[in-house]
């Protein structure tokens, strides 16, 4: 399944190929994206904040898309509606984004989506580098069955 999502990222979100983002693990319990420092460096030789934010946002998106795919709802549209990011430490090496939602939150999200055709869920994503948490992102993702509009 990692290869399938890697292809989606590389073909549909071309920025991910330039950033070198790799899908290391994907399932509903834990999704991990990895990225190398080199193509994501800023002028201070640390990871660019935009790269860190993008990787975190993509991690949550991938997890939710996987969750929907496993329930044959992959025609649903998923967007990030709101996000808050805290940069805790500079990232001086390759990094990975990790999302581990609670089963209860996913269950409530699914029930609302099936009942109403639209649902939102808050996902927490952390970015780790050198064994330390460097970024925390909280994002509200919205899914709509069948997409948005006509």
The one-digit pLDDT tens for each residue of the chain (150 residues) are 899 999 999 999 989 999 999 999 999 999 999 999 999 999 999 999 999 999 999 999 999 999 999 999 877 899 999 999 999 999 999 999 999 999 999 999 999 999 999 999 999 999 999 999 999 999 999 999 976 544
Q: How many CB atoms are closer than 10 A to CB 96?
A: 18
pLDDT at 22: 98
Query: What is the total count of domains within the chain?
Result: 1
Q: Is residue 139 part of a domain?
A: yes
CATH number of the domain enclosing 113: 3.10.129.10
What is the value of pTM for the model shown?
Answer: 0.94
Beta pairing partners, 95: 35
Q: Is residue 34 part of a domain?
A: yes
Residue that has been written with the tokens 């934010």 in this structure: 53
């Amino acid at each position: 399944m990692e290869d399938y999502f890697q292809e989606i990222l590389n073909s549909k979100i071309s920025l991910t190929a330039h950033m070198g983002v790799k899908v290391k693990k994907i399932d509903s319990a834990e999704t991990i994206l990895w990225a190398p420092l080199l193509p994501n460096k800023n002028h201070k030789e640390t990871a660019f904040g935009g790269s860190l934010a993008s990787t975190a946002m993509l991690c949550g998106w991938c997890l939710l898309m996987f969750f929907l795919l496993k329930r044959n709802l992959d025609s649903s549209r998923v967007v990030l509606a709101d996000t808050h990011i805290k940069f805790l430490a500079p990232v001086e090496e390759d990094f990975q984004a990790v999302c581990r939602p609670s089963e209860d939150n996913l269950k409530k999200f699914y029930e609302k989506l099936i009942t109403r055709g639209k649902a939102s869920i808050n996902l927490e994503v952390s970015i780790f580098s050198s064994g330390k948490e460097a970024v925390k992102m909280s994002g509200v993702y919205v899914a709509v069955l069948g997409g948005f509009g006509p």
